Amino acid sequence: MRGTTLLLITGLLALAAGVVALIYPLAASVAVSLLIGWSFAVLGALLLLAGLTAPGWRVVQIILGVLMMLLGVSLLADPLEGVVGLTIVLGVLLAISGVVKLLMSWSALSGPFRASLLLSGALSLLLGIMILTNTPGSGVIAIGVLLAIELLSNGIWAISLALMMRRGTRF
């Protein structure tokens, strides 16, 4: 399978996930909290295991593993409470993503790719600022809505990039 096909599929999947998250923002927020909770719990357990069995930096690995597991369990025990903290993290990540996309758009040649990258970057930055200035009041559903918009934006960007690459346009 060609890279452009995978990029096109990624864009379509991001669009579909964005639509679902927009329809069910609370469920999307809780799903994100649970996914991150499980990730921290599993990664913490693996890091703890590595600290118990691997040489070097054992104490640091064990401490970090325990802390990651506790964070994961905390998110799993009360995902709605975890959504507020995750909202802040999401706001920061969206803002950084927006700045990176804007910088990339300035280095891109003209055409539809540049416009889609510029739009995606501006939207990501705007969403990051919005969520950071409205936390924690926006915490419960905003993370799901903002995630939906970001998924839609990334889907459009990935589809545009795949189509541009198929045409042989260089950037």
List pLDDT tens digits, range 42-71.
999 999 999 999 887 788 899 999 999 999
Residues 6+ apart with CB under 8 A from 101: 117, 118, 120, 121, 124, 157
Residue 64 structural domain = 3-167
Contacts of 60 (CB under 8 A, 6+ apart): 51
Q: How many domains, in total, are found in the chain?
A: 1
For 82-141, what is each residue's pLDDT tens digit? 888 888 887 899 899 999 999 988 886 666 778 888 999 999 999 889 888 876 666 678
Q: What spatial distance separates the first Cα and last Cα of the chain, rounded to whole Å?
A: 22
